[in-house]
Amino acid sequence: MRRVEYGTGRQEVLEAAIHVVATQGLRGLTFRSVAAEAGVTHGAVQYHFGGWDNLVAEALGFAVKRSIDTAGLKPAGPGFADFAGALVASVASDPELQAFQFELSLEARRRPELLPTVAKGYDAYRSAVHEALTTSGLSDPTLSEIIVVALDGLVFQQTVFGDVERTQKALKTLRMMLAAYAEKESAQE
């Protein structure tokens, strides 16, 4: 077990929680399992997060932010050429981050008290996608929802099957569809 300096370790604990859930499921997530994975004491986990629910919520927030930041969902400018441009690499380099989120989502089906936490994560994805689409002239929230669902499915498939090429092809088609839709919308104005 690696040791983390006293007073540090918050990020290590979040990453450990993600690893534990990705490899053992949410039922394996205990302060002790996270502490062992992070190389900190059980008390350090409790100190940083207070309770199990807070640990789960903060780990999900951490995972969602990292996913949004690394997948290229934030718009670099108008157009769709780079939309979700790093998604494939993001999933390939850290599939546990995605597995954690899917595990939590599935567990929320069995444990409704987790639904608000999971919903908050999906709201962050909706917001990021909506911002990206709006930057390119597509401000319909329903379209944003459809794109979030499509991306979620692509991430799930790549996480489970590891088929990078399939995801790349699907994203290319999705970008072409968005560009064509934006052009049609622009012509109607």
Q: Residue 150 — very low, low, confident or very high, per pLDDT cuts 50/70/90?
A: very high
> What are the DSSP calls for the chain, one per residue?
-----TT--HHHHHHHHHHHHHHH-GGG--HHHHHHHHTS-HHHHHHHHSSHHHHHHHHHHHHHHHHHHHHT-S-SSSSSTTTTTTHHHHHHH-HHHHHHHHHHHHHHHH-GGGHHHHHHHHHHHHHHHHHHHHHTT---HHHHHHHHHHHHHHHHHHHHH--HHHHHHHHHHHHHHHHHHHHHHHHH-
What pLDDT score was predicted for residue 50?
92
What pLDDT score was predicted for residue 4?
44
pLDDT digits over 88-127, tens only? 999 999 999 999 999 999 999 999 999 999 999 999 999 9
Residue 6 has pLDDT above 80, yes or no: no
pLDDT digits over 25-76, tens only? 999 999 999 999 999 998 889 988 999 999 999 999 999 999 999 999 987 7
Q: What is the mean pLDDT of the chain?
A: 93
Cut 0.75: pTM above it: yes
| CB distance 46 to 31 below 8 Å | yes
What pLDDT score was predicted for residue 140?
96
Q: Residue 186 — very low, low, confident or very high, per pLDDT cuts 50/70/90?
A: confident
What pLDDT score was predicted for residue 9?
78
Token duo for residue 171 = 């994203």
How far is the C-alpha of 107 from the C-alpha of 101, rounded, in Å?
Answer: 10
Residue 139 has pLDDT above 60, yes or no: yes
Q: Residue 8 — very low, low, confident or very high, per pLDDT cuts 50/70/90?
A: low
Residue 1 has pLDDT above 70, yes or no: no
